[in-house]
Structure 1
């Protein structure tokens, strides 16, 4: 694609008109219309308000001229889907596209944000209240807050908050709706990846906080926090014919109180029938996995594994090192419903105990890493 010699800034507002020119003075009404107009290098600024539409994006940027859709007021522009069951946002054929700072929900749908493309950047969004299949009565269908699908690759999912995808109390016994769902392809690039998930906070989702299946492989899952998810905090696997989840990196993550649902309360393991409970704990491999998956410097605390509190990391073929098991991460104020303060106390066992391998250069709040003697575990870097 030829370079765009005149990149534009366009604007969308709830009081706009798609027949206007998309300028700041005359904004468009729908993000979908903006998506049909933009070219490489363009930026779409979306003003605060509610956008009851499902946004489909097909126009690509380039490596040097990405297309950006940004809520200039973080979480001020709220995309709720069109009620059809389709994703609230779907990046289809559009490579090199950024989705930044939106509040995304989809109470009548299965997916919040989905990309089938490559080189997507999904950054700083709040994704929540996505019903998923079980909650909508379609038990054979799954769902996700953020869904990453092949043949796309080299997708960045950074600094998002994802919660309440599906029903975390799981009254139907379903396990098919996740917070972040990785199912995209290996990268053809040297040093590439299928998905890189950095600094995300994922909680109270129906099944896994971060999961991978189908033909997922070559993932980078680093410095995330997953808590109170119905089944597993982080699950690494694949199952499609000929597919193997291998060469994945899972480092510096905190997984807390995952797997407590269905038959259990949040405090009493005696209600959980051993061997008859789907909770699979903090971090787990399953399906087809390879020997080159590496799990380093993760912290697992008070997770449930098949009806028994068990903080161990359960691996089939991968290797782990420097795991911190069963030790309170010492958040400033832990609350299971997401209303707490998940920064680390200075005394936290996660401070300075991370690895530098595949670690982001900044934290959830864009504070530089590392501070002090080493990298911290989790999405926040402790600093005074």
Structure 2
């Protein structure tokens, strides 16, 4: 019997060797040709030409308009590129990329060849799934025109169908490379939105986004938005309107106030056909994000940035933990209309002594007067608390910061790790406290849990491996393991990763690493 099984295994390996299941193709704007075969020695010319020539095997709906439950049928059958394959792009301009009606039975990866910098004007998926894009430079500057449109758009389309399971990671996304001489009109009228996500189960990871209008705007469900750096924006840094989204370990910094938009580091609101503030946004996780209004007090067009501003609930089953908010507005973290939400172990501080401010953590009534209920505010370091009575609102183990020098390593340089003498150390409650801090250091490190986003430790932290950076491999969903424990009533989340530390100094140095319409912006 064992021999028969081994024979079957050997036959399977012979008929379907792993190497035969996936291929790598090459695209080279400088040395390629439309008549090439996609090999390393005879590459195709541009990604735009590859897509337009339908050189990839995929699926589409049997008929249109799309209806839920419709069947998918093959499209471009027999094309050279198939699900499981990788398209490696070499340096040069690859055009404006529009991938439509393309539901892969597996994953097709589009990536920069190591050592190369491929550029595109725009990346637009419409009615598509099963795609990973990695390492591209996406910018208006690569092919300027009169259309300051969204640079990366994952679009669900009413006629052609939804998009889902798309990943965009490790890309450089920007309007222009240098904004130092931009005027108010440039920031207001001549900036692109960076990323807009209409589809479900989308991952936006590890991108460097800069000099844009709105940063990352998500209306799809179960998005995973992690480890992105958004540096220089005129609208909102991030928006999360879809249920069960995870926004973790992102850095949002340097807001330029050039119009009537009330700028937020992160904003959400509910909506139904009856209007804004008439529904629910459920199961959002905001974890380990850093939001900084400005690095240079003399920055041009500097306004007052709201940190996490959620004004039109209801917001249900949210987790807001380990975030660092450094701003100069009253709204550090504000939820108006919250149910079963927890705001735990955040650090919310004022950048200056001017008004508005100091920033607070606030849970208040919905604008229609309905009270918030069943919420917890715990273990935070903040310059103010503003809590309505609500129903079953628990507030404990929070510390109001009046003297930053007594708590933080170098507040002037935006280093808000705790000093060993800070009274915040070992002063927190273990109840609902996150297992890791902003740096993914295990909690607790001492006799008790520390207050705020950072757990103090001397030398190497004790406990499980604190360097828990998840690999940014080609998983293509927005599902998240790390989010599962934090979402009490949501669908299962798998493969969130845990992100990594993002450090920003006073000079604005940061690691390399949306649609702005509607709502209450």
- How far does the alpha carbon of each residue in 1:84-134 deviate from its partner, in whole angstroms, 9 at most, with x for none? 22111111133111111111112534410111001111111111100x3xx
- Residue 86 in 1 paired to residue 149 in 2? yes
The answer (yes or no) to whether the contact 2:282–2:316 under 8 Å persists in 1 is yes
The 1:129–1:24 alpha-carbon spacing in structure 2 relative to 1, beyond 3 Å, is farther
CA contact (8 A) 2:95 2:120 kept: no
Matched, 1:125 2:207: yes
Higher-Rg structure is 2
2:275 matches 1:211: no
The residue matched to 1:42 in structure 2 has which SS? Answer: strand
Summarize the alignment of residues 234-383 of structure 1 with structure 2, pairs less than 5 Å apart.
Answer: 234-238=308-312, 244-256=314-326, 258-259=327-328, 279-286=329-336, 289-302=337-350, 307-316=355-364, 317=372, 318-326=375-383, 327=401, 328=404, 330=408, 335=413, 344=417, 347=420, 369=442, 372=445, 378=453
- Whether the 8 Å CA contact 1:354–1:377 is kept in 2: the answer is no
Matched, 1:68 2:132: yes
- Structure 2 CA distance for partners of 1:41 and 1:252, relative to 1, 3 Å: same
Q: Summarize the Cα distance change of 1:308–1:24 in structure 2 as closer, same or farther, 3 Å threshold.
A: same
Q: Distance in 2 between matches of 1:306 and 1:59?
A: 48
Aligned equivalent of 1:196, options 242, 246, 252: 246
**In 2, Cα distance between equivalents of 1:161 and 1:183:** 20
Aligned residues: 306
Q: What is aligned with 1:233?
A: 307
The match for 2:390 is none
Secondary structure of 1:315's counterpart equals strand
Tell me which residue corresponds to 1:173.
none
Please name the residue that 2:237 is paired with. 179
**1:170 aligned residue:** none
Structure 2: which 5+ residue stretches go unaligned?
A: 1-19, 48-93, 157-162, 177-189, 257-262, 272-280, 295-303, 365-371, 384-400, 461-521
Indicate conservation of the 8 Å contact 2:379/2:452, yes or no: no
Deviations 1:286-333 (A, max 9, x none): 4xx233222111111115799244243122135411221244463668
Q: Distance in 2 between matches of 1:13 and 1:360?
A: 46
C-alpha change, 1:22 and 1:160, in structure 2 (3 Å) is farther
Cα distance change of structure 1 residues 58 and 96 upon mapping to structure 2, 3 Å threshold: same
Unaligned ranges ≥5, structure 1: 72-76, 133-143, 167-176, 187-192, 260-278, 337-341
Q: Does the 8 A contact of 2:345 with 2:451 survive in 1?
A: no
Contact 2:445/2:456 (<8 A) preserved: no
Q: Distance in 2 between matches of 1:128 and 1:211?
A: 18
Aligned CA distance change for structure 1 residues 370 and 87 (closer, same or farther; 3 Å): farther
Inter-partner Cα distance in structure 2 for 1:361 and 1:21: 49
* Residue 169 of structure 2, aligned match among 69, 80, 100: 100
Q: Which protein has the bigger helix share?
A: 2
Q: Is the 8 A contact 2:445 2:455 kept in 1?
A: no
Does the aligned pair in 2 maintain the 1:304–1:311 contact within 8 Å? no
State the Cα distance separating 1:181 from its structure 2 match.
1.2
Superposition TM-score, scaled by structure 2 size: 0.50
| Conserved? CA contact 1:217–1:238, under 8 Å | no
Q: Higher RCO, 1 or 2 (CA under 8 Å, sep at least 6)?
A: 2
Task: Please say if residues 121 and 156 of structure 1, whose CA atoms lie closer than 8 Å, have aligned partners that are also in contact.
Answer: yes
Deviations 1:221-244 (Å, cap 9, x if unpaired)? 0111111263211112336xxxx2
Q: Does 1:111 align with 2:193?
A: yes
CA deviation string 1:8-49 (max 9, x = no partner): 555556647583555555264437558467833221112443
Aligned to 2:112: 46
Tell me, yes or no, if the aligned pair for 2:124 and 2:152 is still in contact at 8 Å: yes
